Amino acid sequence: MDNLKLVKMVSGEFMLGEEENGNLKDIAVLQVIPQQNGAVSLTLIPIGFPFEQQLTDTTVPYSMVMYEVKNIPAELKDRYVELKSNIKIARPDPSGKVIL
C-alpha cells in the first residue's frame, strides 16, 4: 500500500485511496463524528455509502486533490485495509492484550 494517499479534495472532503495513473481509486471518505464530551471520532466509509457497503472501483482524477496529508495515521491505514479486504485487524489494548 505504498500508493495509499490521504487527501483533501477541492470539495472539502478528506478521502483515503490509492493513487494509480493520475487517479485516486478505491476511495473511502473520512467521516468526523462529534461525541457528547466535545471530542470527535473518525471513521472511513465507502464513497458510495449508504448505497454501497464496500469500496468500489470508483476513481477520481488526482487533479481534484487540493492537499495531501504526508503522514497517514496507522489506525486509518488499518481501517482502510479492513474496508478493502473485509478482514478485521487485531489490535492490542493498552494492557497488551489483543482485541478485535
Name the pTM for this structure. 0.79
Mean pLDDT (whole number) for 13-21? 93
pLDDT tens by residue, 23-76: 999 999 998 888 888 888 888 888 888 888 788 888 899 999 999 999 999 889
> What DSSP designation does 90 have?
P
Query: What pLDDT is attached to residue 6?
Result: 96
What does the angle CA 12 – CA 14 – CA 19 come to, to the nearest 5 degrees? 115
d(CA 2, CA 92): 24
Segment (H or E) for 91? strand 91-92
What does the angle CA 31 – CA 70 – CA 25 come to, to the nearest 5 degrees? 60
